[in-house]
Structures are given as structure tokens and as C-alpha cells.
Amino acid sequence: MKIGFVGLGIMGSAMASNLLKAGFKVTVWNRSADKYSPLVALGATVATSPRAAAEISDVVIAMMATPAAVLSVRDGAEGIIAGLSSGNGYVDMSTVDADTSLESYRLAHEKGALFLEAPVAGSRKPAEDATLTIMAAGDRELYDSSLPVLEKMGKKLLFLGETGKASRMKLANNLVMCGMLTALCEGISLAAGSGLDTAQLLEVLDSGAVANPMFRLKGPQIAANKEFPTAFPLKHMQKDLRLALQLAEEVGQPLFVTATINELYKKALSENHGDADFAAISRIIRNT
């Protein structure tokens, strides 16, 4: 199966690498050309446009930053849709709102192609290790035929039904994750500010009901108050909070905690922490 891969950021680069290592023929495209060389070294071909990546492939995958970035590679004369033909597949793994996915589904179907939204849970390391959780929705036929590809990127795969359900599931997942991380940052700040040993706080947390891999990974970095490598850019987490709040408004569900946390993330963005890891929210909490 020939794969097109559009969007070679933190996640896309790692996911495309795994497809190449698994032996798929992969054609890549990215806005910035500096992302190509590691993938070309693994055997990737570079396309001249998202359209060209789609034209040459059976299935074209996109992993873009935001809904606007999805539109920029999907639409127009050089976009993915222009390169789709009957029977081909378009899999969008970006975290976006359901309306963006529903429009992608409509446009793909206009060309006689199939569409799947397939956002992921798991960050840089799970992307590298091919242990992502993949939440898919849309055309079941494309999900079934793409399984050999998806299985090379993720370890837990779920088909959730019609287009929109995977986007919504991903947003619900991320507001829980962000709430937990923000609470951890507040707990560490409170412990440090009241003369406690933050390493001991982490030990206490890890021995009880709230023990989890994210606290184990990020807790020591936050407690040390040092620079940490960006796994999940803070600007993308704020995008997810914004989309979750938008969805909540659509369905009439108040999100009291998420709304407050979103204000904190907006403050972090205004202080130029957007490209830092989302755990950099600890700096805002510490300094507020």
C-alpha cells in the first residue's frame, strides 16, 4: 500500500518514520523543507504539494497543528482533496473540531474517496515507539483497510462510529489530561511554597490512587523548575481547551474547571510560552 504523509511536526515525523521502518512506500510533504532529511534517509520520497502526495498514494495521512493548518493542506488547487480519486483514502490524524472533520468527509466523498478522522493520544515518545492510542471515526471500510498502517503507529485502536465522534473523544481526553497536569503543577507549587520536599510529594502521589505515567514523567521536571524538552507544545493544548469549550457550548455542558484552566493557558501564550511543553504552565502558576 502506498502512503502519503502530510505534516512532519513532532508527531508526524515520528509516525511517518515508523511507516517507513515497517516497509511502506511513503511520500511526504511538509510546509517547511527542513523536516525532510531524516525521512528521506529512511527511504521517503518528497512530494511537491499535498495534492501530489495524495495523487501518488492509496491512502494519504495528515498530521497538522490546527483546524486552520488542516484547511491549508486540504483545500485549493494544490490541496489533498484535489489529489484524491475514487477509492482512495484520506486519514486526518490531527486534533481538530468535529465540523472540520465533517467537511473533510464531505469533500473526500465528493471525489469518490473515503475519509477517516483518527486523532491520537500519546505524545512524542509513544509516537516514536508506535504505542499511540488511535481514536478513529468515519468510513469503517477505510478503517478496516488501513489497519495494517494504523497498527504500525499505535497499540490501542478504537473505531468510534460516524465522523465527529473521534474528534470529540480526543477533546474530552485532553481536558482530563490538562486538568490533571495543572493540578499537579499547583500541588508542586504549594508543596514548595510551604516548605515541603516536592520529591516526597511525588512519592506520595505515586503510591496512591492518582499514580499515573504522566505524573511520573513530568513531575520531576516540573519540581526541578528547569527547562524541559517540548513533547506537546503548550499552544496546541490551548487549542484543544478552546475546541473543548466550543464543543461544550454546542452541547450545553458547562466546563467550570476547563474554562478556568483555559484562561491560565491563554496567559501562558501571551507570555510567549506557546512553543514550550504544556507542562511549562508550571511557570505561570509559580509566578502568579
Among 3, 5, 9, 171, binds ligand NAP (CB under 6 A): 9
Residue 130 cell numbers, joined: 508506535
Say whether residue 48 binds ligand NAP (CB under 6 A).
Answer: no
Q: Is 170 a catalytic residue?
A: yes
The residues with which 81 forms a beta bridge, in sequence order, are none
Cβ atoms of 258 and 245 within 8 Å: the answer is yes
Say whether residue 280 binds ligand NAP (CB under 6 A).
Answer: no
Say whether residue 120 binds ligand NAP (CB under 6 A).
Answer: yes
Q: To 10 degrees, the CA torsion angle through 54, 58, 63, 64?
A: 20
Which residue's CB comes closest to ligand NAP? 9
Q: What does the DSSP 8-state code read for residue 279? A: G
Among 63, 142, 178, 188, binds ligand NAP (CB under 6 A): 63
Among 57, 123, 146, 282, binds ligand NAP (CB under 6 A): 123
Q: To 10 degrees, the CA torsion angle through 93, 96, 98, 99?
A: -120
From the number of C-beta atoms within 10 Å of its C-beta (0-12, 13-18, 19+), residue 77 rates as exposed
Part in contact with ligand NAP (CB under 6 A); list of ranges 2-10, 161-169, 201-209, 254-262: 2-10
Asked whether the CA dihedral 139, 144, 147, 148 is positive or negative, the reply is: negative
Which one, 27 or 30, has the nearer CB to ligand NAP?
A: 30
CB of 81 to ligand NAP, least distance (A): 15
CB of 16 to ligand NAP, least distance (A): 10
Cβ atoms of 155 and 132 within 8 Å: the answer is yes
Residue 217 cell numbers, joined: 514523567
Say whether residue 83 binds ligand NAP (CB under 6 A).
Answer: no
Cα–Cα distance for residue pair 46/4, rounded to 1 Å:
10
Say whether residue 234 binds ligand NAP (CB under 6 A).
Answer: no
Say whether residue 31 binds ligand NAP (CB under 6 A).
Answer: yes
Residue 206 cell numbers, joined: 505515586
Among 3, 26, 64, 142, binds ligand NAP (CB under 6 A): 64
Counting every residue written for the chain, the total comes to 288
- Which of 170, 235, 239, 266 is catalytic? The answer is 170
Say whether residue 231 binds ligand NAP (CB under 6 A).
Answer: yes
- Show which residues are catalytic: 170
